[in-house]
Amino acid sequence: MGKGAGFGKTILIGDQFVLDGVPAVVSSISYETECVVERIQGYGWVLEDDRNEIPGYKESKRHHQIESINRVLEVMKIDTRKTPLRISYGGTLLAGSGVGASAASCVSLARAINEEFSLGLPADAINQIAWEGEFAYHGVPSGVDNTASTYGGLLLYHLKGDEKIVEKIKVRKPIEIVLGNSGVSADTRMLEVLVENEKTKNKEVFDARMQAITAQSMELKACLEKNDLARVGQLMTENHKILVEMGLSHPRLDYLCDLARSLGVPGAKLTGGGMGGYMVALTPGEALQDKVAKAMQAEGYFVIKASVGGA
């Protein structure tokens, strides 16, 4: 029996445009998807998915999940016709759009197979395999989710041509956040179509927005490092406005962001691809974090209390 785990994540800025060369600020969160791989009698592989979920999420992603598992098995050269497997998922990460649930499942599966078959693969190889598994969910994945899920921490992730730049961001102490779920499961592939349409509709406007978000990402990194959380929040809110203008938000996400800001948070925005999934509110201090979380829960929304900048 082999076991593995992968972190969930949240992206503070740059979510949708990493493949366009925009740097993203991403952090793992202290919730994980866990995977157990066991050899069984029979033929092929069977799946037991016991992850807690946003209602309907797992079913909406089922065909992507099957394709993803097959991709990981193929890349790792595991023939389940000869070695049948039971793949079991669980853990503390609530499965839903926007928190890296698919990447965490790919990373945990790769690690579980690595352990069960004594492959001795290092973290870099696990990260690469998880990226391959992400194709089933995202079309062409940027690699930001699986990188955060594999290594953890708070990172600047930037693709410049063929070069992948990953920088650790050092903060004075972990910063509390609240992730509120809209209850809507977004199709990442459809989001990519929307972004492509935005490019072709008015390239000058699109390019100007990419330049603005790039500047926001780099300033956000600097503000995190010097603990200027008021400006971090402002940048998050300004970024959300751009995403709204591009049609990447959702009325429920906008409502949750407005609710958080009305309770005194420095800033809030959607996180992940958009059009559903989660939003993230910057809530430094446990008192503010609790206040925002309870307000969202009182209205029936699923909430994750976490922090960015942890180990």
- Domain-wise residue ranges, the chain: 2-168, 175-308
Question: Each residue of 245-273: pLDDT tens digit?
Answer: 988 899 999 999 999 999 999 999 999 87
Q: Is the pLDDT of residue 280 over 70?
A: yes
Tell me the two tokens of residue 251. 């009325």
**Among all chains, which residue has been given the structure tokens 């493949």?**
19
Instruction: Answer whether 198's CB lies under 8 Å from 246's CB.
Output: yes
Tell me the two tokens of residue 124. 């870099």
Task: For strands 85-91 and 24-39, give the pairing.
Answer: antiparallel
Which of these CATH numbers, 3.30.230.10, 1.10.287.110, 3.40.50.620, 2.40.50.100, describes 2-168? 3.30.230.10
**Among all chains, which residue has been given the structure tokens 């209602």?**
55
The C-alpha atoms of residue 41 and residue 191 are separated, in whole angstroms, by 41
pTM above 0.85, yes or no: yes
Q: How many CB atoms lie within 10 A of CB 156?
A: 20
| Superfamily for the 175-308 domain | GHMP kinase, C-terminal domain (3.30.70.890)
Question: Each residue of 27-86: pLDDT tens digit?
Answer: 999 899 999 999 999 999 999 999 999 888 899 999 999 999 999 999 999 999 999 999
Question: Each residue of 189-242: pLDDT tens digit?
Answer: 666 666 667 777 788 888 999 999 999 999 999 999 999 999 999 999 999 999
